[in-house]
Chain A
Amino acid sequence: MILRKNLPFGIKQTDKVTLLHWYRLMAIGRTIDERAPNYLKQAIGWSYHAPYAGHDGIQLAIGQVFEKNKDHLFPYYRDMLTVISAGMTAEEIILNGISKATDPSSGGRHMSNHFAKPEWNIHNVSSCTGNHAQHAVGTARAMKYYNGGGVVISSQGESSLSEGYVYEAINGASNEQLPVIFVIQDNGYGISVPKHEQTANRRVADNFSGFKNLRIFHCNGKDVFDSMNTMFDAKRWVLENQKPAIVQANCVRIHSHSNSDRHELYRSDAELSYVAEYDPLAKYRRMLLRYNRATIDELNAIDEEVKQLIKDAHKKALAAPDPDPKSIMNFVVPESYSVELYPEGIHNGQGETKKLIEAINETLKAEFRLNPDTFLWGQDVANKEKGGIFNVTKGMQKEFGRQRVFNAPIAEDYIVGTANGMSRYSDKIRIVVEGAEFADYFWPAMEQLVDSSHDYWRSNGKFSPNIVIRLASGGYIGGGLYHSQNIEGALITLPGIRIVYPSFADDAAGLLRVAMRSRGITMFLEPKALYNDPRSATHVPIDFEVPFGKARIRREGSDLTIITYGNTTHLCLEAARQLHESHKIDSEIIDLRSLNPLDYNTITRSIVKTNKVLIMHEDKVFGGVGGEISAYIAENLFNHLDAPIMRVGATFTPVGFNRILEKAILPDTEKIAKKIVELFNY
């Protein structure tokens, strides 16, 4: 066994200046930790406070091994001492606690006790416990690719290991051999749920003992020196081996989970007394005195200095400005790439035509050639001649290499979560992911998508995930419930993401190019039934660009307006053609191209002209995008309507597999034509 005196840190061998510095940090942290509930009692704020007392050793150690601007740190909501130890000031902590405009984490937008300083790579994370483990893995992937030379630390509670996304993160880090340290602060409880009701293994990190390339460390998170030595050793090992590690730090939770929890309802007096005995700060203080590394006067002087420091910080934080209510629309979605060549997203080029699948493939390649900081991954996207289930990414890995184009595990959340994380490494990075094999399989990734949709707003504009999420969408292929549905009705409810859904090859190319050059998240929905359909083939200028929020009139008319997108654009064009021939009905067809942002101007201009509108989409009528468009029209263009707003779309059912069922469920030319006639005759 290695004697403690032979380790890098110990009560006898660590120099006095360092020992007292640590004591001061711990005193600052604990003083704020104990004062935080007062802010709530006085109705000043800090309505969520998860006290860290009992985690002092490991939190001090995480902050001490973290090198700002080189390493990346993902603290969780209990990591107050972690970020203080990493360098954040008492004032910054209080600014976050009472949600001031100058809170470095989020300007008062995110919940209290979510400490961050993106400028130093201390990241702003979700409240979903441990979901930042995936971000950490993504950041580590970039760290390794760019030879950043640092480590990424994901700090989280032991209960988070029950989350599937944490499993995905650790599995991915193990498989990709990435420099991540997952620090598991184990206090034995997930709120009131004891560890034994979470997992069978008390040493929860040992659940991962079968993972290759992964080293598991255990330490006493209540002890400063054991924590320091372990974190120091773990970081050294990760850097030397470029592989991930788990540090399980045994802690105790001296107080309740948070100020909305009352631990006396489920913990005995004996237990509370027992955990109080464990108080790491008291232990550290005793050791400083016992081993004559500090005098009581020295420690008392630090305590007094800290009291004053926090008093001053409190005053400054109280005087800081509150967030401006007028600022709420700031940083919802980042500015997109400025389109100059094709400001309306329309071209007059003629010549060779490309299929929709070719347009996407060639645009991806063109952008990858132009920008070396582009990456693509997804399930099934890169294996020899295969590039995705529909071969959209064919040839990309061959041309751009395995480091930029690679397969992901069958873990949709991981695909999106690591895209978010990789984005965090540098704002110059642009990522394209195939979010799932089919849009219908994207649901497991909704957790990360929703979280990512918050990021730009939540960080007060300090972080934007720059990701294009491609999804093969829609039906008409006989695919059934998991290969034929549309999900944009659900996506449209999320602020913070753009949604585009082209119908033609040129628009697909133009939208993809702009999406890949823009900051922010773009959901790029591809009508898979049209990949090789000659109807969607067009000439595609090599530099074509389509701005977001610009619809395209695909057929001009004067009798009525049809608003549509995706697969149904072609059904509408066919129905309009037939009805023009048979009934002389002159329909104007708007292909929206962008669902968010919507082109209200084009919609308005057309309805003012035709006075009748049919909203037509493949997705379900109930809960579909058409409902929102209808509401807009009813509210703003009512005086221009000569007929009720009509809608055609799928029934409020899943899409059936048997072609007979699919036909009954999805809209077709016949159903559309019938509705057009009804609207025309109204």
Chain B
Amino acid sequence: MIQKTMKKIALIYSFRSNKTAAVAKKIKSLWEDKIHELDIETLTVEQFVEFENYILGVPTWFDGELPSYWDEFVPAMEDMDLTGRKFAIFGNGDQVNYPENFGDAVGIMAEIIESLGGTIIGYTSSKGYVFEKSQSLVGERFCGLLLDFENQPKQNEERVVSWIESLKKEFQ
């Protein structure tokens, strides 16, 4: 069992995913000593509450929905008090084909977490993205890291590296 005192960061995503898993792999490589990976598809409440710091991989599905595996975990989360816990969220979206709901799932998850008392960190600039609407947009910033494998794949590396650098400070 991982102890809270270790201040490990739970990196939670679907192990069956492709793009999200690729990002997770990159994050893990950048922050090897702090990251503990968990599969959302088999995640239990007991595992979840062991941590205080989280990085969540939440891609946007269809016209702005949570992936099923996250959606199925929400009722469990709703019984938790997330006060004092920090969450950074990343997710894939598609600005060109889904400009009306680019990266919505990141925003949806952030809203759920905040309504349960959790703190969202890891905001990023929306500069360099072109879209119409996004539930992840707070002012001019995204409440997480949005990646676009379909249309801006070359920027993923730099965006992830930069985001992890900032998280290293924010998770202190």
- With a CB–CB cut-off of 8 A, which chain A residues contact B76? 290-291
B29-85: which have CB < 8 Å to A? Answer: 61-63, 65, 68, 71-72, 74-76, 78-79
> Would you give the shortest CB distance from A532 to chain B, in whole angstroms?
58
- Closest-by-CB residue of B relative to A200 is B100
Is A278 located at the chain interface by the 8 A CB criterion?
yes
A351-378: which have CB < 8 Å to B? Answer: none
Is A201 located at the chain interface by the 8 A CB criterion?
yes
B72, A1: Cβ atoms closer than 8 Å? no
A223, B112: Cβ atoms closer than 8 Å? no
> Would you give the shortest CB distance from B139 to chain A, in whole angstroms?
19
- Closest-by-CB residue of A relative to B99 is A202
Q: How far is the CA of A5 from the CA of B76 in the complex (A)?
A: 10
Digitize A201-223: 1 where CB-to-B-CB distance is under 8 Å, 0 elsewhere: 11100000000000000001011
Q: How far is the CA of A12 from the CA of B78 in the complex (A)?
A: 11
Partner of A202, one of B74, B75, B79, B100: B100
A202, B71: Cβ atoms closer than 8 Å? no
- With a CB–CB cut-off of 8 A, which chain A residues contact B61? 274, 278
Partner of A1, one of B97, B98, B101, B111: B111
- Closest-by-CB residue of A relative to B68 is A283
Is B115 located at the chain interface by the 8 A CB criterion?
yes
> Would you give the shortest CB distance from A536 to chain B, in whole angstroms?
61
- Closest-by-CB residue of A relative to B17 is A277
- With a CB–CB cut-off of 8 A, which chain B residues contact A274? 61
Q: How far is the CA of A252 from the CA of B68 in the complex (A)?
A: 13
A1-39: which have CB < 8 Å to B? Answer: 1, 3-5, 10-12
**Which of A188, A196, A277, A291 has the most chain B CB atoms inside 10 A of its CB?**
A277
| Known contacts A1-B111, A3-B78, A3-B115; is-contact A223 B63 (Cβ 8 Å) | no
Q: How far is the CA of A670 from the CA of B115 in the complex (A)?
A: 87
> Would you give the shortest CB distance from A642 to chain B, in whole angstroms?
74
| Known contacts A202-B98, A202-B101; is-contact A11 B75 (Cβ 8 Å) | yes
- Closest-by-CB residue of B relative to A291 is B75
> Would you give the shortest CB distance from A270 to chain B, in whole angstroms?
9
- With a CB–CB cut-off of 8 A, which chain B residues contact A5? 75, 78-79
- With a CB–CB cut-off of 8 A, which chain A residues contact B74? 4
| Known contacts A5-B79, A202-B98; is-contact A286 B65 (Cβ 8 Å) | no
Partner of B62, one of A1, A3, A250: A250
Is A287 located at the chain interface by the 8 A CB criterion?
yes
| Known contacts A4-B75, A286-B72; is-contact A202 B63 (Cβ 8 Å) | yes
Partner of B65, one of A196, A220, A290: A220
- Closest-by-CB residue of A relative to B114 is A1
Q: How far is the CA of A401 from the CA of B65 in the complex (A)?
A: 49
> Would you give the shortest CB distance from A254 to chain B, in whole angstroms?
13
Q: How far is the CA of A12 from the CA of B76 in the complex (A)?
A: 9
- With a CB–CB cut-off of 8 A, which chain B residues contact A291? 75-76
- With a CB–CB cut-off of 8 A, which chain A residues contact B115? 1, 3
- Closest-by-CB residue of B relative to A282 is B68
Interface residues on B, range: 10 to 19
A4, B63: Cβ atoms closer than 8 Å? no
- With a CB–CB cut-off of 8 A, which chain A residues contact B111? 1
B78, A203: Cβ atoms closer than 8 Å? no
- Closest-by-CB residue of A relative to B71 is A223
Digitize A424-451: 1 where CB-to-B-CB distance is under 8 Å, 0 elsewhere: 0000000000000000000000000000
> Would you give the shortest CB distance from B69 to chain A, in whole angstroms?
9
- With a CB–CB cut-off of 8 A, which chain B residues contact A186? 63
- With a CB–CB cut-off of 8 A, which chain A residues contact B112? 1
Q: How far is the CA of A1 from the CA of B116 in the complex (A)?
A: 10
> Would you give the shortest CB distance from A101 to chain B, in whole angstroms?
42
Digitize B75-113: 1 where CB-to-A-CB distance is under 8 Å, 0 elsewhere: 110110000000000000000011011000000000110
- Closest-by-CB residue of B relative to A3 is B78
| Known contacts A202-B63, A278-B61; is-contact A10 B75 (Cβ 8 Å) | yes
> Would you give the shortest CB distance from A221 to chain B, in whole angstroms?
10
- With a CB–CB cut-off of 8 A, which chain A residues contact B79? 5
> Would you give the shortest CB distance from B105 to chain A, in whole angstroms?
12
> Would you give the shortest CB distance from A637 to chain B, in whole angstroms?
66
Digitize A181-202: 1 where CB-to-B-CB distance is under 8 Å, 0 elsewhere: 0000010100000001000011
- With a CB–CB cut-off of 8 A, which chain A residues contact B71? 220, 223, 283
B100, A290: Cβ atoms closer than 8 Å? no
- Closest-by-CB residue of B relative to A270 is B18
B75, A278: Cβ atoms closer than 8 Å? no
Q: How far is the CA of A12 from the CA of B72 in the complex (A)?
A: 12
- With a CB–CB cut-off of 8 A, which chain B residues contact A252? 62
- With a CB–CB cut-off of 8 A, which chain B residues contact A203? 63, 100
- With a CB–CB cut-off of 8 A, which chain B residues contact A223? 71
B68, A278: Cβ atoms closer than 8 Å? yes
Partner of B72, one of A188, A277, A283: A283
Q: How far is the CA of A148 from the CA of B14 in the complex (A)?
A: 50
- With a CB–CB cut-off of 8 A, which chain B residues contact A12? 75
> Would you give the shortest CB distance from B101 to chain A, in whole angstroms?
7
B78, A4: Cβ atoms closer than 8 Å? yes
> Would you give the shortest CB distance from B25 to chain A, in whole angstroms?
19
Digitize A621-644: 1 where CB-to-B-CB distance is under 8 Å, 0 elsewhere: 000000000000000000000000
Q: How far is the CA of A287 from the CA of B65 in the complex (A)?
A: 17
- With a CB–CB cut-off of 8 A, which chain B residues contact A201? 100
Q: How far is the CA of A548 from the CA of B115 in the complex (A)?
A: 70
- With a CB–CB cut-off of 8 A, which chain A residues contact B72? 283, 286-287, 290
- With a CB–CB cut-off of 8 A, which chain B residues contact A283? 68, 71-72
A254-311: which have CB < 8 Å to B? Answer: 274, 277-278, 283, 286-287, 290-291
Q: How far is the CA of A618 from the CA of B121 in the complex (A)?
A: 80
Q: How far is the CA of A250 from the CA of B68 in the complex (A)?
A: 13
Q: How far is the CA of A5 from the CA of B97 in the complex (A)?
A: 33
Q: How far is the CA of A170 from the CA of B62 in the complex (A)?
A: 26
Q: How far is the CA of A196 from the CA of B100 in the complex (A)?
A: 12
> Would you give the shortest CB distance from B115 to chain A, in whole angstroms?
5
> Would you give the shortest CB distance from B138 to chain A, in whole angstroms?
14
- Closest-by-CB residue of B relative to A187 is B62
> Would you give the shortest CB distance from B76 to chain A, in whole angstroms?
8
- Closest-by-CB residue of B relative to A2 is B115
- With a CB–CB cut-off of 8 A, which chain B residues contact A287? 72, 75
> Would you give the shortest CB distance from A333 to chain B, in whole angstroms?
46
- Closest-by-CB residue of A relative to B116 is A3
Q: How far is the CA of A250 from the CA of B101 in the complex (A)?
A: 13
Q: How far is the CA of A283 from the CA of B72 in the complex (A)?
A: 8
- Closest-by-CB residue of A relative to B18 is A270
- Closest-by-CB residue of B relative to A204 is B63
- Closest-by-CB residue of B relative to A10 is B75
- Closest-by-CB residue of A relative to B16 is A277
**Which of B71, B98, B100 has the most chain A CB atoms inside 10 A of its CB?**
B71
> Would you give the shortest CB distance from A199 to chain B, in whole angstroms?
12
Q: How far is the CA of A126 from the CA of B101 in the complex (A)?
A: 34
- With a CB–CB cut-off of 8 A, which chain A residues contact B65? 220, 250
| 4 smallest beta-carbon distances between A and B, as pairs | A5-B78, A1-B115, A283-B68, A3-B78
What residues make up the interface of B, taking CB atoms closer than 8 Å to A? 61-63, 65, 68, 71-72, 74-76, 78-79, 97-98, 100-101, 111-112, 115
Between A and B, 6 residue pairs with Cβ closer than 8 Å are A203-B100, A220-B71, A274-B61, A283-B72, A290-B72, A291-B75
Known A5-B75, A11-B75, A196-B97; further 6 A-B contacts with Cβ < 8 A: A10-B75, A202-B101, A203-B63, A252-B62, A287-B75, A291-B75
